[in-house]
Amino acid sequence: MGKEPIIQVENLVAQYGEDVILDHVSFEVFTGEIFVVLGGSGCGKSTLLRHMIGLETPSSGNVTIDKVNITTCDDHARYDVLRKIGVLFQSSALIGSMTLAENIALPILEYTSLSKSAIEKIVSLKLTMVDLNGYENYFPSELSGGMKKRAGLARALALNPKILFLDEPTAGLDPITSAEIDELVLHINKSIDATMVIVTHELDSIFMIAQRVIMLDKQTKGVIAQGNPEDLKENSLNPLVRQFFNRWSKPLA
């Protein structure tokens, strides 16, 4: 793609006890791209994401982020890497007893020594980026599902990350709200040139935002396709891949 990979996953094996979920998965994510991990239920999409952000350690294999192998590095190096990433979890993971401002301020308080006034300005800026300016003092329970996703995204943006990981950012939303979130993702990608790794199975979102995808398969426990989604839809020779991308079209002959 003419750019250096900012994430490299090499021969990653993920398992729980004797149950292997991912078996020797390898791929690269390039700087500035919107990269989508897709596949059917139970194929290991969220498991892969958790390993990529360091929440889980692979049985074997490596995950390298910005030239640091997070599976073998020391705590200091891991800390530095974590400052470079932001995560939007599927449930948004907002703390219900805190206002939006307090939720967004959490990572800033954890990783910086900025003054209260500086943090307040950053929080206001991040809320403006996701069209939630004026909602600083609202609690998560007072927000709609789409607004919670936006608030979670604002918190993921708090430290100006080089890489954003988004787990099912449009799950459970109506089509109009989903399209608005997709537009916001595209806008953020262009405005701050952040690399984005997105887990989703929503076809509308995939075709709207993905520059490149990998497709995971539950049976093979690995990657069965990668490339541009439009190209895979039209030209893949794998019937599972074609079925996934054409599942709202007429049945395959």
Task: Collapse the DSSP code of 51 into the 3-class scheme (helix H, G, I; strand E, B; otherwise coil) and give the result.
Answer: helix
| pLDDT tens figures, 33-82 | 999 999 888 899 999 999 999 999 999 999 999 999 999 999 899 889 98
Closest by Cα among 37, 24, 20, 13 to 244: 37
Torsion-angle region of 78 (φ positive above 0: left; ψ -120 to 50: alpha; else: beta) = alpha
State residue 248's pLDDT score. Answer: 56
> Which residue numbers in the chain have pLDDT < 70?
1-2, 248-253
For the chain, give the longest Cα–Cα distance: 64
Confidence (pLDDT) at 147: 94
Q: Which helix (H) or strand (E) holds 179?
A: helix 175-192
- Whether pTM > 0.85 for this model: the answer is yes
Residue with tokens 């399209």: 179
Q: Give CA–CA dist 42/86, Å, rounded.
A: 24
Residue type, 65: I
Q: Give the residue among 132, 92, 90, 127 at the shortest CA–CA distance from 108.
A: 127
Q: What is the pLDDT of residue 2?
A: 54
* Beta-bridge partner residues of 195: 163
Domain 1-84+163-177+194-248 classified CATH 3.90.380.10? Answer: no
CA distances from residue 206 to 27, 37, 209, 219 in whole angstroms, order as listed: 18, 9, 6, 22
What type of residue sits at position 6?
I
**So where are the chain's domains?**
1-84+163-177+194-248, 93-160
Helix, strand or coil, per DSSP, at residue 67: coil
